[in-house]
């Protein structure tokens, strides 16, 4: 499994914080940018991350922007991507256990970096429950 991560300028510092966590916990990752706080277009990074996630079904993605809405909208245009916005540990867990999310979208302007770490760990440590949720998830793509 590899974590594919990307952000826009608003999420850059939060992305860097997660990269420190990944390095410290020896989590295998690919950083798809952006690489500074200079203004960029969030869809560019959402598309890059989504394409990388789809290369291997074991991959998971993390996208970070100001509200998480833009990156989630762009990522969810890719068939097979189930990008979910999470603003706390519980919404992150449910995104995986009930919706089989494979991309976590984080709203940098609305949470702390400590909360982001909790959200990420919940995402990483949760497992899709299947069962009644499997049928529902199968209806996501048209």
Residue 142's pLDDT is 72
Phi and psi at residue 32, to the nearest 5°: -95, 10
Characterise 4 by phi-psi region: left (phi > 0), alpha (psi -120 to 50), beta (else): beta
Residue 73's pLDDT is 98
Residue 136's pLDDT is 94
Average pLDDT estimate for 10-15: 98
CATH of the domain at 124: 3.40.1400.10
> Three-state SS for 19?
helix
18-68 pLDDT tens trace = 999 999 999 999 999 999 999 999 999 999 999 999 999 999 999 999 999
Residue 94's pLDDT is 98
Tell me the pairing of strands 60-65 and 29-31.
unpaired
Residue 35's pLDDT is 98
Two tokens, residue 43:
């869809």
Of 106, 98, 84, the C-alpha closest to 130 is 98
Tell me the pairing of strands 103-107 and 60-65.
parallel
89-108 pLDDT tens trace = 999 999 999 999 999 999 99
Q: What is the mean pLDDT of the chain?
A: 97
Domain hosting residue 80, numbered range: 3-138
Residue 141: is its pLDDT beyond 90? Answer: no
Residue 88: is its pLDDT beyond 90? Answer: yes
Q: Is the pTM of this model over 0.95?
A: yes
Two tokens, residue 35:
């690489």
Active site positions, annotated: 65, 98
Residue 81's pLDDT is 98
User: Cα separation of 78 and 23, whole Å?
Assistant: 28
How deeply is 87 buried, as exposed, middle or buried, from its count of CB atoms within 10 A (0-12, 13-18, 19+)?
middle
Sign of the four-CA dihedral 73, 134, 55, 96: positive
120-134 pLDDT tens trace = 999 999 999 999 999
Residue 33's pLDDT is 98
Instruction: Domain count for the chain, please give it.
Output: 1
Two tokens, residue 31:
């950083």
């Amino acid at each position: 499994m590899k974590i594919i991560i990307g952000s826009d300028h608003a999420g850059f510092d939060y992305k860097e914080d997660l990269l420190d966590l990944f390095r410290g916990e020896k989590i295998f990752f690919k950083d798809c940018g952006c690489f500074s706080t200079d203004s960029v277009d969030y869809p560019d990074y959402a598309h890059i991350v989504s394409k990388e996630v789809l290369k291997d079904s074991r991959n998971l993605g993390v996208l970070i922007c100001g509200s998480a809405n833009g990156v989630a909208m762009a990522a969810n245009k890719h068939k097979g991507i189930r990008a979910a916005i999470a603003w706390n540990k519980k919404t992150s867990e449910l995104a995986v256990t009930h919706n089989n999310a494979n991309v976590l979208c984080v709203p940098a302007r609305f949470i702390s970096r400590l909360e982001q770490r909790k959200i990420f760990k919940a995402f990483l440590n949760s497992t899709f429950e299947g069962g009644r949720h499997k049928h529902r998830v199968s209806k996501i793509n048209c």
